[in-house]
Structure 1
Amino acid sequence: MQSPPAQPANADQIDLRQVFGTLRRYAPLLILTPVVVAGLTYWLAGREAPVYESSASIIAVDNNAQNSLINNTLVTAPPLPQGAVEQVLHSRNLVTDIGQRLEQSGLDPTLVAQIRSDLNRELTANTFSRLKVRARLDTQQRGVYEIRAQGENPQAAQQLAEAGVAALLAWDNARAKQSVTRSRQSLQAQLQNLTERIASIGDPLERQSLISARGQVLQNLSQMAVLETAATGTLIPVAEPVAPRAPVSPRPLRNAALAGLLSLFLVTGGVLLSDSLRRRVNGPEDLLPLGLPVLAQLPLVRRKQLAGGFLPASHSGPLYEGLGFLRINVQSTLGEGSHRRLVISSSYPGEGKSSVTAALAESLGASGQKVLVIDADLRRPTQLKVWGPDRLATHPLPGTDPTLPPAATLTEMFLRPGAAHATGVGPNVDLLPAGTPQRGDGGSGILNQPAFRTSLEGWAQGYDFVLIDTPPMLGLPDTLAVAPHTDGVILVVENGKTRLADVERSLQNARVAGVRVLGIVLNKVTRSNDAYYYYNTAYAAAARPEALASPHPDRS
């Protein structure tokens, strides 16, 4: 008994061939989904109302001049802190001012009402789309503010941008005049007070003094009026808004492209995630991390090709070629020697292990090897169905007393081990069928008996190969009971159905039991790009040995 092959060093690494293989299998989904999503997005975007955008630019400057005379006669507002312009533009006072300016702009009153409603709703939600501010400032808060306005038509976008800039400049100028206005109001209060006192005082000397003070206040008030008129803010318009030619949204083509790419990424991620969680074996590349050779890839045989039975269907075409590879690879794996004993099993029922066992036995027999097939699947025996109802005569197995009544099944052999007889089912191929299906632990009891192992040793002496068809490895322990007394196990895996995790579980069970797994047969492959499937099929069918033909071509 040999130890099982070790896992490859890079078994836990990502294999790009597996990734590309998975994407290739799901190629229709990966292509169709983005196309459908992009088309639907394009259609929906085309039905949306157009949105136009107009922009204007204002600059924030430092009004301090180098000339002291200018600085003394010029009133300026202090620099605006970071984010002040955006906060002011999205304030209740400016929204009201903008609405009033729009009412005087000549736009449709219904549209103006809609814009005002949107601006007020944005204030409440604190999310803004009608008016936006983008600032590009230096460390001293000097730079350019870009005011962007969106409207239902080009004129609405332009007028909203103009109204927003005008309201912002008016607020900035009012900010610069605040201190001067307060001073002017204070001087006006002083002037009124002096006038009232002059009118009520009769002393000429005191009256003359008050008149002189009122003259000084009048002079200061005149200067304040000049300063108030000259007061200026820090914001200066740079570029006026213009009516846009094309809408900024919707953009059906761009939206469709983005939606298609996003759906492609999502579907690709979902496919790879789903495949990694419950990945099925969909080709030999999926089996590479297991560190075991793929002895053969056998194609899926269509139902109409099975009208005459599985074995006749294996006498030509891709299945014939795949079985040839399987026979050669098995012989190469085992090397020189005789009396070879092989177990053929699978992870679950229905993967084709019994058919592969029979086809391999027939291929070995056609090459001149003497083969005994043992149907050890005592609960669901299948070999008699595969070989057909018509069989050749029985003959005793090595170590059998020919004078005893024949025990022609594995179940009868267990009761009468000295009378075991095999049934000839083809050239150089004998079969020991399972017999009556067993229930409960009856099957495992027979295969675990020392008598079976002893008989197996004796029967192998009369054959080059003994092929044992055992139950699925994940369903019953029978395979692990028989395999340690053989040269190893060949695991049949159904392409596109068997999960990779189940194959790994089967191999793990084999390793724990100390069973050697020779390799894997990938069965029911539907792909058509494996060259040896179709390489010179006509020549293979014409040149095959006549002994490979079914001895009963008319049987069902």
Structure 2
Amino acid sequence: MQTPSPRVQSADQIDLRQVFGTLRRFAPLLLLAPALVAGGTYALTKRQPPTYEASASVIAVDNDAQNSLINNTLVTAPPLPQGAVEQVMRSRSLLGDVVGRLEKTDLSPALVGTIRRDLANELAERDFTRFKVKARLDPQQRGVYELRAQAETPEAAQLLADAGVRALIAWDNSRAKQGVIRSRQSLQEQLRSLTARIAATPPGDLERQSLVAARGQLLQNLSQIAVLETAASGTLVLVSEPVAPLTPVSPRPLRNAALAGLLALFLSAAGALLSDSLRRRVEGPEDLLPLGLPLLGQLPLLRRRSLGEGFIQASRSGPLYESVGFLRINVLSLLPEGGQRRLVVSSAYPSEGKSSVTAALAESLGASGLRVLVIDADLRRPTQLKVWSPDRLATHPLPGTQPGLPPATTVPDMFLHPEAAFVTRVSPNVDLLPAGTPQSGGGGTGLLSQPGFRTHLDRWSQGYDYVLIDTPPMLSLSDTLAVAPYTDGVLLVVEGGKTRLADVERTLQNARVAKVRVLGLVLNKLARTGGTYYSYGYDADSTESPVRSSRSPVTQM
């Protein structure tokens, strides 16, 4: 039996080689999707009207002058609590003040009307974009408020920011004067009451003199209140006035296109990896263990330079020779000695390397002194003659062939003329029954399902130790299921890194339903890892993989 691979990856590890291989398979999608998304985003963003942003800053200060005389003659507002400025900028009264200030500027009435409608909609939807406030404060709520305003033109952005910050400062100052105003209104009410009482009191009355004195004191208090009202101030002071911006803040076609392209690339890569994970592929021997079948061989992926002299020559030396040797030993130990042994070699799908495995196993059995007959039963895509590529087509008759008849050298011809059957010698101890020209449609492919096929197979197999039958893929045609009952069983070839595990399971299920015995699995075309080969075939720098093509004489088919 073959020794297990030196590196078995656990389920919780990430195989970066597999990840990059998956991304490489989806490379066209990963390149096309971000390009289309980025291009579409750029075109759409470019068509959007520009938006300009201007900003102004105010500072929240503590008006405590540390001087009793100044503090006694100065009325200040209390510090603003956290988030107060943001809420004020979203109030209907302040936004109305902003619109009133804009109407006094040189902005066009149409643009002012657009801003008024936008502010009204923002109030109704509670989604504010025209004004944004950014605060940088210390624990005592002292610091800087930056007010940003967005508009359709640089001048409109500047005027809107200016109107907003001045309306905010006016609101803050009004907040500081509210207590003084209430005091003034109370004193004025008292003054009106005293004036009425004085008018109703006769001249020279002592009460009238007392009322006049009280009225004089009220007038003095009112004058002081007027001074305090004039000096009252809020906690917000203008730091920087807005200026007209030079460039718009949106749209930014290049930035948006780059971000959209990166997002599309990320989503495409994630989708490719997710799709690949949902369609789990056979990456190594450990993936085949749950199937409960023996792994008879692991054949390496050959590079193109290894196939310069042909596939059969490559199988006689190097890593492929050793791997096929393990396969031969496992097959010999699997079947009882003595008698004639017939094996079907197939796969789930085309281009997994079944024809190459058949030829390599036949060559190895023949080199060990066993007589081998290879039958190319893949009548739709015959490949065995191209795999062997004999220098000359030397034929000889099978037992029971009548002399003097024109030789029948292909499987369809032998069905028609079984008494004139000739085989082609392709290697010492190895003969081949080629399929001939490819059969299309129903054509000659129905030959394998005819009752007489077993009789012909018994006749052709006489004098051989092993008969290897190369049949079509089991998920593509039913020919393998028709031929396998006349043999000892099926060797199922699985291409590493490409064949989905679900397809292998479906193939085995079909075989069980048809009561076809699957002897074991051959893991084919495994990439080299850590200097060790696991399977055979072409790698990425090859022009055409033997498992992927049935048209090249130097490829594994």
* Aligned match for 1:520, one of 494, 517, 524: 524
Could you report, residue by residue, the CA deviation over 1:76-128 in whole angstroms, capped at 9, with x for unpaired residues?
11221211111111111111111111111212222222222221121122111
2:502 aligns to what? 501
2:114 aligns to what? 114
Q: CA deviation at 1:175?
A: 0.8
Q: CA deviation at 1:372?
A: 3.1
2:264 aligns to what? 263
Return closer, same or farther for 1:186/1:533 CA change in 2, 3 Å cut-off: closer
The more displaced of 185-194 and 12-21 is 12-21
Q: CA deviation at 1:245?
A: 1.6
Return closer, same or farther for 1:132/1:383 CA change in 2, 3 Å cut-off: closer
Could you report, residue by residue, the CA deviation over 1:441-460 in whole angstroms, capped at 9, with x for unpaired residues?
x899x89xxxx9xx99xx79
2:325 aligns to what? 331
TM alignment of 1:310-349, pairs within 5 A:
329-335=323-329, 343-348=343-348
TM alignment of 1:77-226, pairs within 5 A:
77-202=77-202, 204-226=205-227
Return closer, same or farther for 1:248/1:320 CA change in 2, 3 Å cut-off: farther
Counterparts of 1:60 and 1:180, CA distance in 2: 21
Counterparts of 2:12 and 2:51, CA distance in 1: 52
**8 Å contact 1:491–1:519 — kept in the other structure?**
yes
1:438 aligns to what? 449
**8 Å contact 1:322–1:533 — kept in the other structure?**
no
Q: Which amino acid aligns with 2:81?
A: P
Counterparts of 2:2 and 2:98, CA distance in 1: 89
**8 Å contact 2:394–2:425 — kept in the other structure?**
no
**8 Å contact 1:495–1:524 — kept in the other structure?**
no
Q: CA deviation at 1:40?
A: 2.9
1:46 aligns to what? 46
Counterparts of 1:124 and 1:74, CA distance in 2: 39
User: Is 1:239 the counterpart of 2:250 in the alignment?
Assistant: no
Could you report, residue by residue, the CA deviation over 1:391-421 in whole angstroms, capped at 9, with x for unpaired residues?
7422279xxxxxxxxxxx99xxxxxxxxx99
2:390 aligns to what? none
Segments of structure 1 that go 5 or more residues without pairing to the other structure are: 301-314, 398-408, 411-419, 535-540, 545-556
Aligned Cα root-mean-square deviation (Å): 5.0
Return closer, same or farther for 1:164/1:382 CA change in 2, 3 Å cut-off: closer
1:72 aligns to what? 72
Counterparts of 1:277 and 1:54, CA distance in 2: 51
Q: Which amino acid aligns with 1:393?
A: P
- 3-state SS in 1 of match to 2:448: coil
1:274 aligns to what? 275
- 3-state SS in 2 of match to 1:48: coil
Counterparts of 1:254 and 1:424, CA distance in 2: 70
TM-score when scaled to structure 1? 0.71
Counterparts of 2:420 and 2:361, CA distance in 1: 18
Q: How many residues align?
A: 486
1:529 aligns to what? 541
Q: CA deviation at 1:148?
A: 0.3
Could you report, residue by residue, the CA deviation over 1:282-329 in whole angstroms, capped at 9, with x for unpaired residues?
xxx6778558664154899xxxxxxxxxxxxxx976655666675653
2:493 aligns to what? 491
Q: Which amino acid aligns with 1:24?
A: R
User: Is 1:393 the counterpart of 2:394 in the alignment?
Assistant: no
Counterparts of 2:244 and 2:446, CA distance in 1: 92
**8 Å contact 1:60–1:143 — kept in the other structure?**
yes
- 3-state SS in 2 of match to 1:437: helix
- 3-state SS in 1 of match to 2:140: coil
TM-score when scaled to structure 2? 0.71
Q: Which amino acid aligns with 2:255?
A: R
Counterparts of 1:505 and 1:7, CA distance in 2: 28
**8 Å contact 1:373–1:430 — kept in the other structure?**
yes
1:309 aligns to what? none
Could you report, residue by residue, the CA deviation over 1:419-467 in whole angstroms, capped at 9, with x for unpaired residues?
x99963324334689994338xx899x89xxxx9xx99xx79953x442
**8 Å contact 1:89–1:95 — kept in the other structure?**
yes
Determine what percentage of the aligned residue pairs are the same residue: 51
- 3-state SS in 2 of match to 1:272: helix
Counterparts of 1:481 and 1:5, CA distance in 2: 31
Q: CA deviation at 1:332?
A: 3.9
Q: CA deviation at 1:376?
A: 11
1:227 aligns to what? 228
**8 Å contact 1:321–1:533 — kept in the other structure?**
no
Q: Which amino acid aligns with 1:334?
A: R
Counterparts of 2:288 and 2:542, CA distance in 1: 21
- 3-state SS in 2 of match to 1:40: helix
1:429 aligns to what? 430
Return closer, same or farther for 1:360/1:462 CA change in 2, 3 Å cut-off: same
- 3-state SS in 2 of match to 1:139: coil
**8 Å contact 1:280–1:500 — kept in the other structure?**
yes
Return closer, same or farther for 1:327/1:468 CA change in 2, 3 Å cut-off: farther
Could you report, residue by residue, the CA deviation over 1:140-179 in whole angstroms, capped at 9, with x for unpaired residues?
2221110001122211111111000010011111111111
- 3-state SS in 1 of match to 2:21: helix
- 3-state SS in 2 of match to 1:503: helix
Counterparts of 2:452 and 2:502, CA distance in 1: 27
**8 Å contact 2:51–2:152 — kept in the other structure?**
yes
Q: CA deviation at 1:57?
A: 0.6
Q: Which amino acid aligns with 1:395?
A: P
**8 Å contact 1:59–1:144 — kept in the other structure?**
yes
* Aligned match for 1:295, one of 285, 292, 299: 299
**8 Å contact 1:19–1:272 — kept in the other structure?**
yes
Return closer, same or farther for 1:215/1:43 CA change in 2, 3 Å cut-off: same
Counterparts of 1:123 and 1:87, CA distance in 2: 11
**8 Å contact 2:448–2:483 — kept in the other structure?**
no
**8 Å contact 2:54–2:148 — kept in the other structure?**
yes
Segments of structure 2 that go 5 or more residues without pairing to the other structure are: 290-294, 387-392, 402-409, 412-418, 436-444, 527-534, 547-552
Q: Which amino acid aligns with 2:228?
A: L
Could you report, residue by residue, the CA deviation over 1:378-398 in whole angstroms, capped at 9, with x for unpaired residues?
xx877999669997422279x
